[in-house]
A = this chain, B = another copy of it.
Protein backbone atom coordinates (compact mmCIF):
# COMPACT_ATOMS: atom_id res chain seq x y z
CA UNK A 1 0.00 0.00 0.00
CA UNK A 2 1.26 3.38 -0.99
CA UNK A 3 1.02 6.42 1.22
CA UNK A 4 1.18 8.92 -1.63
CA UNK A 5 -1.98 10.90 -2.17
CA UNK A 6 -4.09 10.29 -5.26
CA UNK A 7 -4.40 12.89 -8.03
CA UNK A 8 -7.41 15.14 -7.19
CA UNK A 9 -10.53 14.38 -9.25
CA UNK A 10 -10.92 18.00 -10.27
CA UNK A 11 -7.42 18.05 -11.69
CA UNK A 12 -7.65 14.90 -13.80
CA UNK A 13 -10.47 12.42 -13.23
CA UNK A 14 -8.85 9.80 -15.38
CA UNK A 15 -5.54 10.02 -13.52
CA UNK A 16 -7.48 9.92 -10.23
CA UNK A 17 -9.17 6.70 -11.35
CA UNK A 18 -5.89 5.07 -12.28
CA UNK A 19 -4.28 6.14 -9.02
CA UNK A 20 -7.14 4.73 -7.01
CA UNK A 21 -7.32 1.31 -8.65
CA UNK A 22 -3.60 0.75 -8.21
CA UNK A 23 -2.95 2.46 -4.87
CA UNK A 24 -5.98 0.94 -3.20
CA UNK A 25 -4.59 -2.42 -4.33
CA UNK A 26 -7.60 -3.43 -6.43
CA UNK A 27 -5.64 -4.48 -9.52
CA UNK A 28 -2.15 -5.21 -10.71
CA UNK A 29 -0.78 -4.97 -14.26
CA UNK A 30 -0.33 -8.20 -16.18
CA UNK A 31 2.07 -9.10 -18.99
CA UNK A 32 -0.90 -9.83 -21.28
CA UNK A 33 -2.10 -6.88 -23.33
CA UNK A 34 -5.42 -5.56 -22.10
CA UNK A 35 -5.67 -8.09 -19.26
CA UNK A 36 -5.40 -7.14 -15.61
CA UNK A 37 -4.92 -9.08 -12.43
CA UNK A 38 -7.76 -8.51 -9.98
CA UNK A 39 -6.10 -8.47 -6.55
CA UNK A 40 -7.83 -9.76 -3.42
CA UNK A 41 -9.20 -6.37 -2.33
CA UNK A 42 -10.76 -5.90 -5.78
CA UNK A 43 -11.88 -9.50 -6.09
CA UNK A 44 -13.70 -9.36 -2.78
CA UNK A 45 -15.86 -6.55 -4.16
CA UNK A 46 -16.66 -8.86 -7.07
CA UNK A 47 -17.52 -11.67 -4.63
CA UNK A 48 -20.00 -9.31 -2.99
CA UNK A 49 -21.52 -8.36 -6.34
CA UNK A 50 -21.71 -12.02 -7.30
CA UNK A 51 -23.44 -13.00 -4.08
CA UNK A 52 -25.90 -10.09 -4.32
CA UNK A 53 -26.86 -10.92 -7.90
CA UNK A 54 -26.88 -14.70 -7.49
CA UNK A 55 -29.35 -14.39 -4.62
CA UNK A 56 -31.67 -12.34 -6.83
CA UNK A 57 -31.37 -14.75 -9.77
CA UNK A 58 -32.16 -17.78 -7.65
CA UNK A 59 -35.07 -16.00 -5.96
CA UNK A 60 -36.59 -15.51 -9.41
CA UNK A 61 -36.21 -19.18 -10.35
CA UNK A 62 -32.95 -19.15 -12.32
CA UNK A 63 -30.36 -21.90 -12.10
CA UNK A 64 -26.64 -21.71 -12.80
CA UNK A 65 -24.96 -23.86 -15.44
CA UNK A 66 -21.65 -23.83 -17.28
CA UNK A 67 -21.07 -23.81 -21.04
CA UNK A 68 -17.82 -24.19 -23.01
CA UNK A 69 -15.31 -21.34 -23.22
CA UNK A 70 -14.79 -22.12 -26.90
CA UNK A 71 -17.35 -21.55 -29.63
CA UNK A 72 -16.96 -22.99 -33.14
CA UNK A 73 -16.41 -20.06 -35.48
CA UNK A 74 -19.35 -21.07 -37.66
CA UNK A 75 -21.79 -20.65 -34.74
CA UNK A 76 -21.18 -16.92 -34.47
CA UNK A 77 -22.01 -16.50 -38.10
CA UNK A 78 -25.51 -17.89 -37.78
CA UNK A 79 -27.01 -14.64 -36.50
CA UNK A 80 -26.02 -11.93 -38.97
CA UNK A 81 -26.07 -8.83 -36.72
CA UNK A 82 -24.43 -10.76 -33.91
CA UNK A 83 -21.36 -11.77 -35.91
CA UNK A 84 -21.05 -8.28 -37.36
CA UNK A 85 -21.08 -6.81 -33.86
CA UNK A 86 -18.50 -9.13 -32.36
CA UNK A 87 -16.19 -10.09 -35.23
CA UNK A 88 -13.62 -7.32 -34.80
CA UNK A 89 -13.06 -8.23 -31.13
CA UNK A 90 -12.55 -11.97 -31.24
CA UNK A 91 -9.64 -14.00 -29.91
CA UNK A 92 -9.26 -17.19 -31.91
CA UNK A 93 -7.66 -20.52 -31.01
CA UNK A 94 -6.19 -22.07 -34.14
CA UNK A 95 -3.81 -24.62 -32.59
CA UNK A 96 -4.68 -27.21 -29.95
CA UNK A 97 -2.88 -30.31 -28.75
CA UNK A 98 -0.02 -29.49 -31.08
CA UNK A 99 -2.16 -29.51 -34.22
CA UNK A 100 -3.90 -26.89 -36.35
CA UNK A 101 -7.66 -27.12 -35.76
CA UNK A 102 -9.89 -27.85 -38.72
CA UNK A 103 -12.37 -25.24 -37.52
CA UNK A 104 -10.95 -22.41 -35.43
CA UNK A 105 -12.47 -21.92 -31.99
CA UNK A 106 -13.48 -18.48 -30.81
CA UNK A 107 -12.97 -17.63 -27.15
CA UNK A 108 -16.50 -16.63 -26.09
CA UNK A 109 -17.21 -12.89 -26.25
CA UNK A 110 -20.72 -13.78 -24.97
CA UNK A 111 -22.58 -17.09 -25.14
CA UNK A 112 -25.88 -16.59 -26.99
CA UNK A 113 -24.74 -18.86 -29.80
CA UNK A 114 -23.43 -21.84 -27.87
CA UNK A 115 -26.27 -21.63 -25.36
CA UNK A 116 -28.77 -21.23 -28.20
CA UNK A 117 -27.50 -24.49 -29.66
CA UNK A 118 -27.89 -26.20 -26.26
CA UNK A 119 -31.41 -24.81 -25.79
CA UNK A 120 -32.40 -26.25 -29.16
CA UNK A 121 -31.48 -29.69 -27.76
CA UNK A 122 -33.00 -29.21 -24.32
CA UNK A 123 -36.37 -27.80 -25.28
CA UNK A 124 -38.98 -30.05 -26.81
CA UNK A 125 -42.36 -28.94 -25.53
CA UNK A 126 -44.10 -26.12 -23.68
CA UNK A 127 -43.49 -28.15 -20.52
CA UNK A 128 -39.78 -27.33 -20.79
CA UNK A 129 -40.55 -23.61 -20.72
CA UNK A 130 -39.63 -21.18 -19.39
CA UNK A 131 -36.01 -22.29 -19.31
CA UNK A 132 -34.16 -19.97 -16.92
CA UNK A 133 -30.37 -20.29 -16.93
CA UNK A 134 -27.49 -18.15 -15.69
CA UNK A 135 -23.76 -18.57 -16.17
CA UNK A 136 -20.86 -17.07 -14.18
CA UNK A 137 -17.92 -16.92 -16.55
CA UNK A 138 -14.99 -15.11 -18.10
CA UNK A 139 -15.37 -13.64 -21.58
CA UNK A 140 -12.89 -12.09 -24.00
CA UNK A 141 -13.34 -9.08 -26.27
CA UNK A 142 -10.17 -7.84 -27.86
CA UNK A 143 -10.59 -4.10 -27.29
CA UNK A 144 -8.08 -1.61 -28.61
CA UNK A 145 -8.18 0.79 -25.67
CA UNK A 146 -8.51 -0.75 -22.25
CA UNK A 147 -9.08 0.67 -18.75
CA UNK A 148 -9.09 -1.25 -15.46
CA UNK A 149 -12.53 -2.82 -14.83
CA UNK A 150 -14.24 -0.59 -17.44
CA UNK A 151 -12.83 -2.18 -20.54
CA UNK A 152 -10.43 -5.11 -20.48
CA UNK A 153 -9.76 -7.81 -23.04
CA UNK A 154 -10.88 -10.46 -20.56
CA UNK A 155 -13.50 -9.76 -17.93
CA UNK A 156 -15.69 -11.63 -15.48
CA UNK A 157 -19.45 -11.48 -15.67
CA UNK A 158 -22.70 -13.33 -15.42
CA UNK A 159 -24.86 -13.90 -18.43
CA UNK A 160 -28.47 -14.95 -18.05
CA UNK A 161 -30.11 -16.81 -20.91
CA UNK A 162 -33.77 -17.72 -20.94
CA UNK A 163 -36.33 -19.14 -23.36
CA UNK A 164 -40.08 -18.54 -23.28
CA UNK A 165 -43.25 -19.58 -25.07
CA UNK A 166 -44.51 -16.08 -25.84
CA UNK A 167 -43.22 -12.64 -26.66
CA UNK A 168 -45.00 -11.22 -23.62
CA UNK A 169 -43.25 -13.65 -21.27
CA UNK A 170 -39.86 -12.85 -22.79
CA UNK A 171 -40.51 -9.12 -22.40
CA UNK A 172 -41.62 -9.61 -18.78
CA UNK A 173 -38.44 -11.59 -18.06
CA UNK A 174 -36.26 -8.94 -19.72
CA UNK A 175 -37.81 -6.23 -17.54
CA UNK A 176 -37.76 -8.38 -14.41
CA UNK A 177 -33.99 -8.83 -14.72
CA UNK A 178 -33.52 -5.12 -15.41
CA UNK A 179 -35.36 -4.52 -12.15
CA UNK A 180 -33.11 -7.03 -10.39
CA UNK A 181 -30.03 -5.12 -11.60
CA UNK A 182 -31.51 -1.76 -10.58
CA UNK A 183 -32.45 -3.11 -7.17
CA UNK A 184 -28.99 -4.55 -6.67
CA UNK A 185 -27.32 -1.30 -7.75
CA UNK A 186 -29.36 0.82 -5.36
CA UNK A 187 -29.69 -1.56 -2.42
CA UNK A 188 -26.15 -2.91 -2.33
CA UNK A 189 -23.89 -0.63 -4.37
CA UNK A 190 -25.67 2.61 -3.33
CA UNK A 191 -25.72 3.62 -7.00
CA UNK A 192 -28.88 5.37 -8.20
CA UNK A 193 -29.48 4.14 -11.72
CA UNK A 194 -31.85 5.16 -14.46
CA UNK A 195 -33.68 2.30 -16.11
CA UNK A 196 -34.21 2.80 -19.80
CA UNK A 197 -34.32 1.35 -23.25
CA UNK A 198 -31.44 1.56 -25.70
CA UNK A 199 -31.81 3.11 -29.14
CA UNK A 200 -31.54 0.92 -32.22
CA UNK A 201 -27.96 1.99 -32.71
CA UNK A 202 -26.89 1.20 -29.17
CA UNK A 203 -28.71 -2.09 -28.71
CA UNK A 204 -27.05 -5.49 -28.43
CA UNK A 205 -25.98 -7.11 -31.69
CA UNK A 206 -28.87 -9.44 -32.48
CA UNK A 207 -31.41 -8.13 -29.96
CA UNK A 208 -34.94 -6.94 -30.58
CA UNK A 209 -34.79 -4.53 -27.63
CA UNK A 210 -32.04 -3.77 -25.15
CA UNK A 211 -32.74 -2.30 -21.73
CA UNK A 212 -30.05 -0.73 -19.60
CA UNK A 213 -29.31 0.75 -16.23
CA UNK A 214 -27.27 3.92 -16.57
CA UNK A 215 -25.35 5.56 -13.74
CA UNK A 216 -23.71 8.98 -13.52
CA UNK A 217 -20.02 8.89 -12.62
CA UNK A 218 -18.18 11.58 -10.63
CA UNK A 219 -17.07 13.28 -13.85
CA UNK A 220 -20.73 13.45 -14.98
CA UNK A 221 -20.22 10.85 -17.71
CA UNK A 222 -22.58 7.90 -17.97
CA UNK A 223 -21.73 4.28 -17.31
CA UNK A 224 -23.89 1.51 -18.74
CA UNK A 225 -23.90 -0.76 -15.71
CA UNK A 226 -26.02 -3.71 -16.76
CA UNK A 227 -28.11 -4.66 -19.77
CA UNK A 228 -31.09 -6.91 -20.40
CA UNK A 229 -31.98 -7.96 -23.92
CA UNK A 230 -35.21 -9.19 -25.42
CA UNK A 231 -33.78 -11.23 -28.28
CA UNK A 232 -37.15 -11.83 -29.89
CA UNK A 233 -37.01 -14.92 -32.08
CA UNK A 234 -33.71 -13.95 -33.73
CA UNK A 235 -31.53 -16.49 -31.96
CA UNK A 236 -34.35 -19.03 -31.81
CA UNK A 237 -34.52 -18.94 -35.59
CA UNK A 238 -30.74 -18.98 -36.05
CA UNK A 239 -30.37 -21.97 -33.70
CA UNK A 240 -33.67 -23.68 -34.28
CA UNK A 241 -34.97 -23.36 -30.71
CA UNK A 242 -38.48 -24.72 -31.08
CA UNK A 243 -41.18 -26.13 -28.84
CA UNK A 244 -44.37 -28.07 -29.32
CA UNK A 245 -47.23 -25.97 -27.96
CA UNK A 246 -50.20 -27.17 -25.90
CA UNK A 247 -52.06 -27.16 -29.18
CA UNK A 248 -49.39 -29.49 -30.60
CA UNK A 249 -48.03 -26.87 -32.97
CA UNK A 250 -44.29 -26.35 -33.44
CA UNK A 251 -43.32 -22.78 -32.54
CA UNK A 252 -40.08 -20.84 -32.19
CA UNK A 253 -39.18 -19.77 -28.66
CA UNK A 254 -38.66 -16.18 -27.53
CA UNK A 255 -35.33 -15.72 -25.81
CA UNK A 256 -33.63 -13.17 -23.55
CA UNK A 257 -30.15 -12.53 -22.27
CA UNK A 258 -28.82 -10.16 -19.59
CA UNK A 259 -25.46 -9.42 -18.08
CA UNK A 260 -23.54 -7.54 -15.44
CA UNK A 261 -19.75 -7.62 -15.21
CA UNK A 262 -16.66 -6.56 -13.28
CA UNK A 263 -17.30 -3.19 -14.97
CA UNK A 264 -19.64 -2.58 -12.03
CA UNK A 265 -16.56 -2.28 -9.80
CA UNK A 266 -15.47 0.66 -11.96
CA UNK A 267 -18.95 2.12 -11.52
CA UNK A 268 -18.69 1.87 -7.75
CA UNK A 269 -15.29 3.54 -7.75
CA UNK A 270 -16.37 6.42 -10.01
CA UNK A 271 -19.77 6.98 -8.39
CA UNK A 272 -18.57 7.25 -4.83
CA UNK A 273 -14.85 8.08 -4.85
CA UNK A 274 -13.47 11.44 -3.75
CA UNK A 275 -10.15 13.24 -3.60
CA UNK A 276 -9.00 11.07 -0.72
CA UNK A 277 -9.55 7.92 -2.77
CA UNK A 278 -12.14 5.15 -2.68
CA UNK A 279 -15.40 5.23 -0.79
CA UNK A 280 -16.88 1.76 -0.73
CA UNK A 281 -20.60 1.16 -0.19
CA UNK A 282 -20.94 -0.64 3.17
CA UNK A 283 -22.77 -3.71 1.87
CA UNK A 284 -20.05 -4.51 -0.68
CA UNK A 285 -16.97 -3.26 1.17
CA UNK A 286 -14.50 -6.13 1.77
CA UNK A 287 -13.65 -4.40 5.04
CA UNK A 288 -16.62 -2.64 6.64
CA UNK A 289 -14.85 -1.58 9.80
CA UNK A 290 -11.14 -1.05 10.34
CA UNK A 291 -10.10 -1.05 13.98
CA UNK A 292 -7.16 1.15 14.88
CA UNK A 293 -5.60 0.87 18.31
CA UNK A 294 -4.15 4.14 19.66
CA UNK A 295 -1.42 4.04 22.31
CA UNK A 296 1.85 5.64 23.36
CA UNK A 297 3.63 2.87 25.24
CA UNK A 298 3.68 -0.87 25.74
CA UNK A 299 1.29 -0.85 28.73
CA UNK A 300 -1.24 1.19 26.83
CA UNK A 301 -0.77 -1.01 23.79
CA UNK A 302 -1.62 -4.16 25.71
CA UNK A 303 -4.74 -2.68 27.29
CA UNK A 304 -5.94 -1.11 24.07
CA UNK A 305 -5.36 -4.23 21.97
CA UNK A 306 -7.23 -6.32 24.55
CA UNK A 307 -10.27 -4.12 24.14
CA UNK A 308 -9.92 -3.95 20.37
CA UNK A 309 -9.80 -7.73 20.08
CA UNK A 310 -12.83 -8.08 22.31
CA UNK A 311 -14.88 -5.58 20.30
CA UNK A 312 -13.77 -7.00 16.97
CA UNK A 313 -14.68 -10.50 18.08
CA UNK A 314 -18.15 -9.24 18.91
CA UNK A 315 -18.50 -7.51 15.53
CA UNK A 316 -17.22 -10.52 13.57
CA UNK A 317 -19.54 -12.78 15.53
CA UNK A 318 -22.38 -10.71 14.08
CA UNK A 319 -21.11 -11.36 10.56
CA UNK A 320 -19.42 -8.00 10.06
CA UNK A 321 -16.21 -7.78 8.04
CA UNK A 322 -13.61 -6.23 10.31
CA UNK A 323 -9.86 -5.72 10.01
CA UNK A 324 -7.49 -4.82 12.83
CA UNK A 325 -4.61 -2.61 11.74
CA UNK A 326 -1.92 -3.42 14.28
CA UNK A 327 0.99 -2.32 12.12
CA UNK A 328 3.69 -0.30 13.78
CA UNK A 329 2.82 2.89 11.91
CA UNK A 330 1.32 6.08 13.33
CA UNK A 331 -2.46 6.41 13.63
CA UNK A 332 -2.31 9.32 11.17
CA UNK A 333 -0.65 7.13 8.55
CA UNK A 334 -3.27 4.45 9.10
CA UNK A 335 -6.18 6.91 8.93
CA UNK A 336 -5.02 8.15 5.53
CA UNK A 337 -4.35 4.68 4.28
CA UNK A 338 -7.80 3.31 5.09
CA UNK A 339 -9.52 6.46 3.89
CA UNK A 340 -7.77 5.98 0.56
CA UNK A 341 -8.92 2.35 0.52
CA UNK A 342 -12.48 3.45 1.19
CA UNK A 343 -13.37 1.55 4.38
CA UNK A 344 -16.78 2.88 5.53
CA UNK A 345 -16.12 2.98 9.29
CA UNK A 346 -12.98 3.51 11.34
CA UNK A 347 -13.13 2.26 14.91
CA UNK A 348 -10.62 4.02 17.16
CA UNK A 349 -9.79 2.84 20.67
CA UNK A 350 -7.34 4.66 22.94
CA UNK A 351 -6.34 4.23 26.60
CA UNK A 352 -9.05 6.62 27.83
CA UNK A 353 -11.66 4.73 25.87
CA UNK A 354 -10.57 1.55 27.60
CA UNK A 355 -11.08 3.19 31.00
CA UNK A 356 -14.41 4.77 30.12
CA UNK A 357 -15.91 1.82 28.21
CA UNK A 358 -16.01 4.02 25.11
CA UNK A 359 -14.83 4.00 21.50
CA UNK A 360 -14.90 6.29 18.48
CA UNK A 361 -16.61 5.54 15.17
CA UNK A 362 -15.50 7.74 12.26
CA UNK A 363 -17.44 7.75 8.98
CA UNK A 364 -15.66 7.71 5.64
CA UNK A 365 -18.61 9.47 3.98
CA UNK A 366 -18.58 12.52 6.30
CA UNK A 367 -15.14 14.04 6.76
CA UNK A 368 -13.76 15.53 9.96
CA UNK A 369 -15.50 16.09 13.27
CA UNK A 370 -19.02 15.82 11.89
CA UNK A 371 -18.41 12.23 10.94
CA UNK A 372 -17.09 11.19 14.36
CA UNK A 373 -19.14 9.85 17.21
CA UNK A 374 -18.21 8.65 20.68
CA UNK A 375 -20.03 5.48 21.54
CA UNK A 376 -20.37 3.17 24.46
CA UNK A 377 -18.71 -0.21 23.98
CA UNK A 378 -21.98 -1.79 25.09
CA UNK A 379 -24.16 -2.78 22.17
CA UNK A 380 -21.45 -1.95 19.65
CA UNK A 381 -22.89 -4.34 17.05
CA UNK A 382 -26.22 -2.54 16.80
CA UNK A 383 -24.49 0.84 16.69
CA UNK A 384 -22.16 -0.24 13.90
CA UNK A 385 -24.99 -1.83 11.93
CA UNK A 386 -27.08 1.32 12.23
CA UNK A 387 -24.15 3.43 11.13
CA UNK A 388 -23.43 1.20 8.11
CA UNK A 389 -27.06 1.60 7.05
CA UNK A 390 -26.87 5.36 7.55
CA UNK A 391 -23.69 5.51 5.45
CA UNK A 392 -25.36 3.49 2.71
CA UNK A 393 -28.37 5.80 2.70
CA UNK A 394 -26.18 8.88 2.68
CA UNK A 395 -24.00 7.63 -0.18
CA UNK A 396 -27.08 6.81 -2.24
CA UNK A 397 -28.59 10.22 -1.45
CA UNK A 398 -25.36 12.05 -2.32
CA UNK A 399 -25.09 10.26 -5.65
CA UNK A 400 -28.76 10.93 -6.40
CA UNK A 401 -28.41 14.63 -5.60
CA UNK A 402 -25.29 14.82 -7.75
CA UNK A 403 -27.01 13.16 -10.67
CA UNK A 404 -30.07 15.37 -10.41
CA UNK A 405 -27.97 18.51 -10.17
CA UNK A 406 -26.14 17.49 -13.33
CA UNK A 407 -29.07 16.38 -15.42
CA UNK A 408 -30.44 19.21 -17.53
CA UNK A 409 -33.55 19.69 -19.62
CA UNK A 410 -32.09 20.81 -22.91
CA UNK A 411 -34.15 22.43 -25.66
CA UNK A 412 -31.69 23.49 -28.37
CA UNK A 413 -28.66 21.98 -30.04
CA UNK A 414 -26.55 24.96 -28.92
CA UNK A 415 -27.44 24.32 -25.31
CA UNK A 416 -26.73 20.64 -25.96
CA UNK A 417 -23.27 21.32 -27.34
CA UNK A 418 -22.45 23.63 -24.44
CA UNK A 419 -23.46 20.91 -21.99
CA UNK A 420 -21.45 18.27 -23.83
CA UNK A 421 -18.42 20.56 -23.34
CA UNK A 422 -19.14 21.24 -19.68
CA UNK A 423 -20.29 17.72 -18.75
CA UNK A 424 -23.60 16.37 -17.52
CA UNK A 425 -26.65 14.53 -18.78
CA UNK A 426 -29.01 16.11 -21.29
CA UNK A 427 -32.66 15.15 -20.90
CA UNK A 428 -34.25 15.94 -24.26
CA UNK A 429 -37.27 15.37 -26.42
CA UNK A 430 -36.01 13.28 -29.31
CA UNK A 431 -37.42 12.17 -32.65
CA UNK A 432 -34.23 11.97 -34.69
CA UNK A 433 -33.34 9.17 -37.07
CA UNK A 434 -30.47 6.70 -36.61
CA UNK A 435 -28.52 8.97 -38.93
CA UNK A 436 -29.27 12.01 -36.73
CA UNK A 437 -28.18 10.07 -33.67
CA UNK A 438 -24.87 9.19 -35.32
CA UNK A 439 -24.31 12.84 -36.26
CA UNK A 440 -24.95 14.07 -32.72
CA UNK A 441 -22.38 11.55 -31.51
CA UNK A 442 -19.87 12.60 -34.14
CA UNK A 443 -20.31 16.30 -33.47
CA UNK A 444 -20.50 16.27 -29.66
CA UNK A 445 -19.20 12.92 -28.42
CA UNK A 446 -22.50 12.40 -26.61
CA UNK A 447 -24.49 9.23 -27.19
CA UNK A 448 -28.11 8.36 -26.60
CA UNK A 449 -27.81 6.55 -23.29
CA UNK A 450 -31.42 5.49 -23.07
CA UNK A 451 -35.08 6.32 -23.30
CA UNK A 452 -35.90 6.28 -19.58
CA UNK A 453 -38.74 3.91 -18.71
CA UNK A 454 -40.07 6.69 -16.53
CA UNK A 455 -41.35 9.10 -19.21
CA UNK A 456 -43.02 12.46 -18.56
CA UNK A 457 -45.81 11.64 -21.03
CA UNK A 458 -47.28 14.06 -23.50
CA UNK A 459 -45.20 15.42 -26.36
CA UNK A 460 -42.49 17.98 -27.05
CA UNK A 461 -40.16 19.29 -29.70
CA UNK A 462 -37.01 17.41 -30.67
CA UNK A 463 -33.97 19.53 -29.70
CA UNK A 464 -32.14 18.42 -32.82
CA UNK A 465 -34.68 18.08 -35.62
CA UNK A 466 -37.24 20.56 -34.31
CA UNK A 467 -39.92 18.03 -35.14
CA UNK A 468 -42.59 16.79 -32.75
CA UNK A 469 -41.33 14.10 -30.40
CA UNK A 470 -43.28 11.73 -28.16
CA UNK A 471 -40.50 10.58 -25.92
CA UNK A 472 -37.63 11.84 -23.84
CA UNK A 473 -34.08 10.53 -24.14
CA UNK A 474 -30.92 10.99 -22.09
CA UNK A 475 -27.77 11.89 -23.97
CA UNK A 476 -24.33 12.00 -22.42
CA UNK A 477 -20.70 11.23 -22.94
CA UNK A 478 -20.10 7.79 -21.59
CA UNK A 479 -17.51 5.17 -20.72
CB–CB A67/B30 < 8 A? yes
CB–CB B91/A65 < 8 A? no
Is A40 an interface residue when CB atoms closer than 8 A count as contact?
Answer: yes
* Given A37-B118, A91-B96, A94-B95: A43 touches B28 (CB 8 Å cut-off): no
CB–CB B30/A68 < 8 A? yes
Is A401 an interface residue when CB atoms closer than 8 A count as contact?
Answer: no
Binds B, one of A138-146, A181-189, A288-296, A443-451: A138-146
Bound Cα distance from A340 to B122, whole angstroms = 19
Partner of A97, one of B30, B88, B96: B88
Bound Cα distance from A70 to B133, whole angstroms = 27
Partner of A66, one of B37, B89, B118: B37
Measured CB to CB, the nearest residue on chain B to A143 is B97
A144 proximity list for chain B (CB < 8 A): 97
8 Å CB interface, A18-37 against B: 28-32, 35-37
Bound Cα distance from A328 to B465, whole angstroms = 60
Is A309 an interface residue when CB atoms closer than 8 A count as contact?
Answer: no
Is A121 an interface residue when CB atoms closer than 8 A count as contact?
Answer: yes
8 Å CB interface, A64-108 against B: 64-72, 75, 87-98, 104-105, 107
CB–CB A35/B68 < 8 A? yes
Is A114 an interface residue when CB atoms closer than 8 A count as contact?
Answer: yes
1/0 contact trace for A98-142 toward B, CB 8 Å? 100000110100000010011001100000000001000110101
CB–CB B66/A31 < 8 A? no
CB–CB B72/A43 < 8 A? no
* Given A40-B133, A93-B93, A94-B92: A68 touches B118 (CB 8 Å cut-off): no
A35 proximity list for chain B (CB < 8 A): 68-70
Nearest-Cβ distance from residue A103 to partner chain B, whole angstroms: 10
* Given A93-B93, A96-B92: A32 touches B70 (CB 8 Å cut-off): yes
Is A47 an interface residue when CB atoms closer than 8 A count as contact?
Answer: yes
A94 proximity list for chain B (CB < 8 A): 92-95
Partner of A70, one of B71, B98, B117, B154: B154
Bound Cα distance from A156 to B135, whole angstroms = 13
Measured CB to CB, the nearest residue on chain B to A118 is B37
A133 proximity list for chain B (CB < 8 A): 40
Measured CB to CB, the nearest residue on chain B to A155 is B66
Bound Cα distance from A69 to B156, whole angstroms = 11
A75 proximity list for chain B (CB < 8 A): 31
Partner of A32, one of B44, B65, B72, B121: B72
Bound Cα distance from A91 to B67, whole angstroms = 17
* Given A75-B31, A97-B144, A138-B138: A37 touches B64 (CB 8 Å cut-off): no
Partner of A64, one of B43, B64, B72: B43
Is A63 an interface residue when CB atoms closer than 8 A count as contact?
Answer: yes
Partner of A118, one of B28, B69, B90, B105: B28
A88 proximity list for chain B (CB < 8 A): 97-98
CB–CB B107/A93 < 8 A? yes
Bound Cα distance from A28 to B128, whole angstroms = 16
Is A38 an interface residue when CB atoms closer than 8 A count as contact?
Answer: yes
Instruction: Among A39, A96, A142, find the residue whose CB has the most chain B CB atoms closer than 10 A.
Output: A96
CB–CB A89/B97 < 8 A? yes
Instruction: Among A31, A94, A144, find the residue whose CB has the most chain B CB atoms closer than 10 A.
Output: A31
A93 proximity list for chain B (CB < 8 A): 91-94, 107
**Which 3 A/B pairs are nearest by Cβ-Cβ distance?**
A40-B63, A97-B142, A35-B68
Q: Known pairs A31-B75, A70-B91, A97-B144. 5 more at Cβ < 8 A?
A: A37-B68, A40-B63, A90-B98, A91-B93, A97-B143
CB pairs A–B below 8 angstroms (18 shown): A28-B121, A31-B117, A32-B71, A32-B114, A37-B66, A40-B63, A40-B64, A40-B65, A69-B138, A89-B97, A90-B95, A91-B93, A92-B95, A94-B95, A95-B104, A96-B142, A97-B142, A137-B138
Give residues in A with beta carbon < 8 Å to B. 28-32, 35-40, 43-44, 46-47, 63-72, 75, 87-98, 104-105, 107, 114, 117-118, 121-122, 133, 137-138, 140, 142-144, 153-154, 156
